[in-house]
Amino acid sequence: MRLQIPIALGFLAGAFMIVQFFVPYYALQMYYEQLLDWAIIIGAFALVLGLGSLFRSHIDKIRSRHPDYIYSFVALISFAVMFFFGIFYGVNPRTTFDWIFNNIQVPLEATVFSLLAFFMASAAYRTFRARSVEATLLLVVAVIIMLGRVPITDYIKFVDIHGFSEWLMSIPATAAKRGILFGVALGIVATSLRILLGIERSHLGGGGGAGR
Amino acid sequence: MISRLPLKTIRRLLLPTAALCLLLGSARAQQQPVEFPAPERLAVSDDPEDLAGRQLVVKWHKPAAADAVTGYRLGGYLVYVGESREGAELSPAQVVPDPQKTETLLSGLLPSKSYIVQVGALYIPEQVTGELIDLNAVAYLRNQGAVEAKSARSGPISPVGALFDPKKTNVLIATMVYCAIVLLAIYFAQRGEMYIRPIPGLEAVNDAIGRATEMGRPILYVSGLSGITDIATIAAMLILGHLAKRTAAYETSIIVPCNDPLVLTAEREIVHQAYIEAGKPEAYEPENIFYVTDSQFGYAAAVDGIMMRERPAANFFMGMFYAESLILAETGNRTGAIQIAGTDADTQLPFFITACDYTLMGEELYAAGAYLSRNPLLVAQLKGQDIGKVLLAAALVVGTALATLSAYLGPDIVKAFLSWFQI
Amino acid sequence: MWEKLLYFDRRIIFLLIGAAVLIPFLTQWTLPHGKITATTQSLFDAIEQLPVGTPVMISFDYGPSSMPEVEPMAKALAYHILSRNLRLMAVTLVITGPQMADRAIIPVAKQLGKKYGKDWVNLGFKPGGAVLLTQMGESIKRAYPTDARNNPTIKLPVMTGVENYDDIGLVVDLASSGAPTTWIVYAHDPYRVNMAAGVTAVEAVDYYKFLQTGQLIGLLNGLKGAAEYEFLVGRKGFGKLGMASQSVAHLLIIVLVIIGNIGYFTIERHRSRRR
């Protein structure tokens, strides 16, 4: 029963979602929207669980004097400050919440994102080696794409690097991506099918398959 | 008697009386009834485009003499609707502000009920500058002297809903054929062993766990940055289940930072179940599966921090990733961990391929659960996927050939074939 | 020597990249704009062809992290829309979107003397994603009874005559993730609203397929797209300034890759000689 009931529920919910896709009748659409509302409500409650987990892990670190417990203080105080200003003074423009968001959150997130530029350069230096034909091809294409993003190459008269890089992006790259996408789409349907039919049960503790 | 009154007094009496008479005369002239013609030939029908059964098409003719009403202009129309039952009143449902427009859609109705519809033409005094913008404007315009002339009622009529969307026939057939192929493959799988192409990334899973066990270091598992509604996240959770069973057997710690509370809840349950199945429930550490944040780069920063502090021996990045992929993988590379990634986010594949030891590309992510479990039923699903892929490739080749031919022979030849693939 | 060069401390690369980005930025050095990409031009032309007063919707589906790359596009687009006396409506599918919209539009509106509520509106964030887009197909005012500042949308002059996508001239989704696909699936395909997108360079390759099928009529590709759009609308912005940094960084990476390969082949040759 511990396995059967979740599988049956999963099957019913999944079957309903498939049927509603093909049946436009309002009653089904109404239940569909209701189910989506449920999902949002469950998500909101799950956020409480998430916050509980966040607090517990940080409080545990502080209690046990974990080597980096000072950062747990920073996390909890930051949360309390944002919560206080968001709840009591609102989140509209020109509020304290908005000020903190624009002057702390925005630069912090932008900083982490900007690490990408540094990591990309070091990863390119480390791995872009013309070891084989395929690797050489990858290297040459990468260089052409990068040059295509540099406006001054537009002034080179004898070769249209910008046009060639656009062509690479819109024809071969898109074709390759479509190929990957087809495989992914088929994989998604098959995975969904095996979960709906209860063939895959590892997430329910069913031994990684239906077994026989 | 009048003759006895002084001339001054007579003037005083006569002038106001004459003025009063003039006023009364003009007032009587104004009271003459002005004809306000109503909309004509009202027709209500079901909207054939609306398959949900929520809409009716309302059509009428502009009143013929609308432009001849002196002192007023036709400001637009009010559409009234009410249920067709005893004592039910019609209430204004929609405003048509353009007097030249004589058709509208009534939405928000129910196919189980029948309705009566009426259309009113609203005449606004010429000196009033307001416009019939929406229902809120009606009361204001009435206060300013606007007059309404209503058409005859039409109905009862019910909107008709459909039980199948014919535009999705191709999707239904394709889905049914593909599902049948997968199910048949699973059915025939019970008859014998099936070959499965070795996937190096998954072959390396055992090495990664073994290495972590030898070094006494944990394993880090990141199940992507999208929510539980993303099938890539579900595939990542299935892989986590198989992986957790093996780490439980070796009693190696597994750290799972989550960026979605629903994923956290499900993953805790999955890992717990895996430890129970492996016969090591006491080794399960719920505090190792925790929520961090739903902020993309906040999460990336936190996971980078975990990698630098905890120094996991193996990092797994499975599921949907965005721009943070290289930030995670490059930091992991720096710590010297074995890194295995798997994603169907094609834009992130180059980053993982560059910085990780093994990468599962696209559909391999969905095949991983079957590969790791080696369960014949799950492996058979891969066979079904392959057959589906062959069919899809065949359709592509035929479609491309026909589309190319149509460029020379005219579009009609292949129109029917190609239109079948349109949604 | 080559061995050292091949395996030198990656922090040196970080320093070089930092200098390549910072120096052009601090010296305010700019590069000529180069050729205008066809996808940028087509978006510009689409907005040029809209009659005065047509509502244009921008979906601000990016967060603070990708703001440096996407915000220049938002500012140039807002400038183009408002200077052409079109109505601008900001929506978003992500929680940080309303702040992004205000940051981008308020300075542009001030510059052009455009008023909130009359010329532009920020409808704010509503959860639901695909469901929200479907709701807007039925009624935008029902999907957004109030704007981000809690004004009832039925009372805003900018919303007059705006019922659903039929009344929107163009939707431009500015995003750093897969949001344009959601817009295409749930707004363009069922309701046939014209759509364009502006995305980070790393995501751009995902959207070329939609240009080929006509589901997108234009695409701004990363900082280069932003710089091109700034040039087309004649407004100086961060796009052009950022392009100099990006170009130098790209050239530096190419030089590093070349050095790495020379080192690699030199070492390989030495090794094969020893053998």
Identify the CATH number of the domain in which residue C102 sits.
3.40.50
Contact status of B173 with chain A (Cβ, < 8 Å): no
Our measurement of the distance from residue C185's CA atom to the centroid of its chain's CA atoms, rounded to an integer in Å, reads 19
Average pLDDT, chain B: 84
To the nearest 10°, the Cα dihedral for C251, C256, C260, C262?
60
Q: Where are the alpha helices (DSSP H) in A66-173?
A: 69-89, 96-100, 106-127, 133-148, 161-168
Q: Say yes or no for a CB contact (<8 Å) between B134 and C154.
A: yes
Q: In this structure, are C65 and C178 located in the same domain? A: yes
- Cα(C202)–Cα(C217) distance, rounded to whole angstroms? 20
The whole-number average pLDDT for the span B63-75 is 82
Among partner residues A125, A128, A154, which is closest to C35 by beta-carbon distance? A154
pLDDT reported for residue B404 = 82
Strand partners, B95: B78
> Over the stretch A91-124, which tens digit does the pLDDT of each residue have?
777 789 989 988 898 888 888 988 888 998 988 8
Query: How far B402 CA sits from the closest chain C CA (Å)?
Result: 18
Q: Say yes or no for a CB contact (<8 Å) between C201 and A166.
A: no
Nearest of A115, C204, C203, A119 to residue B352 by alpha carbon: A119
Nearest of B132, B122, B161 to residue B37 by alpha carbon: B122
Locate C215 and state its tokens.
């589901």
Q: Say yes or no for a CB contact (<8 Å) between B347 and C202.
A: yes
- Tell how strand B115-125 and strand B103-106 pair up: unpaired
Domain count, chain C: 2
C164 vs B84, C84, C90, CA distance in Å?
29, 22, 14
Q: In this structure, are C220 and C133 located in the same domain? A: yes
C30 vs A154, B289, C240, CA distance in Å?
15, 48, 7
Q: In this structure, are C23 and C117 located in the same domain? A: no
pLDDT reported for residue B314 = 95
- Only one residue has tokens 């910085």, namely B355
* DSSP per residue, C65-79: TTHHHHHHHHHHHHH
Chain B hits for C68, CB-CB cut-off 8 Å, are: none
Task: Identify whether C242 is part of a domain.
Answer: no
Chain A hits for C265, CB-CB cut-off 8 Å, are: 130
Q: How many pairs of residues across A and C have Cβ atoms under 8 Å apart?
A: 132
Task: Please work out, in degrees rounded to the nearest 5, the angle formed at the alpha carbon of residue B30 by the alpha carbons of B27 and B32.
Answer: 120
Residue, of B155 and A48, whose pLDDT is higher? A48
Chain B hits for C177, CB-CB cut-off 8 Å, are: 322
- Cα(A181)–Cα(A193) distance, rounded to whole angstroms? 18
Q: In this structure, are C178 and C230 located in the same domain? A: yes
A206 vs B274, B282, C135, C156, CA distance in Å?
9, 19, 40, 57
Strand partners, B120: B78, B150
Which residues have CB under 8 Å from B73's CB, separation 6+?
B123, B124, B126
pLDDT reported for residue B29 = 44
* pLDDT band at residue B3 using 50, 70 and 90 as cut-offs: very low
> Over the stretch B339-378, which tens digit does the pLDDT of each residue have?
999 998 888 898 999 899 999 998 899 888 888 877 777 7
Our measurement of the distance from residue A163's CA atom to the centroid of its chain's CA atoms, rounded to an integer in Å, reads 32
Locate B74 and state its tokens.
């036709």
Identify the structural domains of chain B with CATH numbers, from first to last. 40-157 (2.60.40.10), 194-374 (3.40.50.1220)
Among partner residues A56, A116, A180, which is closest to B326 by beta-carbon distance? A116
pLDDT reported for residue B423 = 64
Query: What was the ipTM of the complex prediction?
Result: 0.86
Among partner residues B296, B323, B334, which is closest to C202 by beta-carbon distance? B323
pLDDT above 90 as % of chain B: 32
* pLDDT band at residue B217 using 50, 70 and 90 as cut-offs: very high
> Over the stretch B244-267, which tens digit does the pLDDT of each residue have?
999 999 989 999 999 988 899 889
State which residues of chain A have pLDDT below 70. Answer: 1-2, 202-212
Residue B33 reports pLDDT greater than 70: no
Among partner residues A50, A115, A124, which is closest to B327 by beta-carbon distance? A115
> Over the stretch C61-88, which tens digit does the pLDDT of each residue have?
998 878 888 999 999 999 999 999 999 9
Locate C212 and state its tokens.
């080929």
Is the CB of residue B346 less than 8 Å from the CB of residue A180? Answer: yes
State which residues of chain C have pLDDT below 70. Answer: 1-2, 6
Which strands, in side-by-side order, build the sheet including B338-343? B289-291, B254-258, B219-222, B314-318, B338-343, B358-361
Q: In this structure, are C216 and C119 located in the same domain? A: yes
Q: Say yes or no for a CB contact (<8 Å) between B107 and C66.
A: no
Q: In this structure, are C174 and C269 located in the same domain? A: no
Residue C120 φ then ψ, to 5°? -150, 160
Among chain C residues, the shortest Cα distance to A99 is held by C99
Which range marks the domain in which residue C187 is found? 38-236
Q: In this structure, are C262 and C226 located in the same domain? A: no
- Cα(C89)–Cα(C101) distance, rounded to whole angstroms? 10
Locate C133 and state its tokens.
């887009």
Domain ranges in chain A?
1-89, 90-126, 128-212
Contact status of A159 with chain C (Cβ, < 8 Å): no
Is the CB of residue C219 less than 8 Å from the CB of residue C39? Answer: yes
- Cα(B44)–Cα(A3) distance, rounded to whole angstroms? 53
Q: In this structure, are C193 and C255 located in the same domain? A: no
Task: Identify whether C232 is part of a domain.
Answer: yes
Query: How far A125 CA sits from the closest chain B CA (Å)?
Result: 10
DSSP state for residue B166 in the 8-state scheme: G
Contact status of B186 with chain A (Cβ, < 8 Å): yes
> Over the stretch C156-180, which tens digit does the pLDDT of each residue have?
899 988 888 999 999 999 998 789 9
Q: In this structure, are C261 and C170 located in the same domain? A: no
Is the CB of residue B224 less than 8 Å from the CB of residue B319? Answer: yes
* pLDDT band at residue B21 using 50, 70 and 90 as cut-offs: very low
Locate B285 and state its tokens.
């550490």
Longest CA span, chain B? 137
Residue B2 reports pLDDT greater than 50: no
Q: How far apart are the first and last CA of chain A?
A: 17
Q: Say yes or no for a CB contact (<8 Å) between C261 and A129.
A: yes
- Cα(A55)–Cα(A107) distance, rounded to whole angstroms? 25
* pLDDT band at residue B24 using 50, 70 and 90 as cut-offs: very low
Nearest of B390, B370, B134, C104 to residue A190 by alpha carbon: B370
Is the CB of residue B159 less than 8 Å from the CB of residue B56? Answer: yes
Q: Residues of C numbered 169-208 whose beta carbons fall under 8 angstroms of chain B's beta carbons: which are they?
A: 176-177, 189, 200, 202-203, 205-206
> Over the stretch A141-159, which tens digit does the pLDDT of each residue have?
989 988 888 877 777 778 8
Q: In this structure, are C256 and C195 located in the same domain? A: no
Contact status of A179 with chain C (Cβ, < 8 Å): no
pLDDT reported for residue B143 = 84
User: What subunits touch chain B, counting only 3 or more CB pairs under 8 A?
Assistant: A, C
Q: Residues of A numbered 147-186 whose beta carbons fall under 8 angstroms of chain B's beta carbons: which are they?
A: 177, 180-184, 186
Q: Residues of B numbered 4-43 whose beta carbons fall under 8 angstroms of chain A's beta carbons: which are they?
A: none
Residue C193 φ then ψ, to 5°? -80, 140
Q: In this structure, are C215 and C83 located in the same domain? A: yes
SS (H, E, C) B304-356: HHHHHHHCCCEEEEECCCCCCHHHHHHHHHHHCCEEEEEECCCCCHHHHHHHC
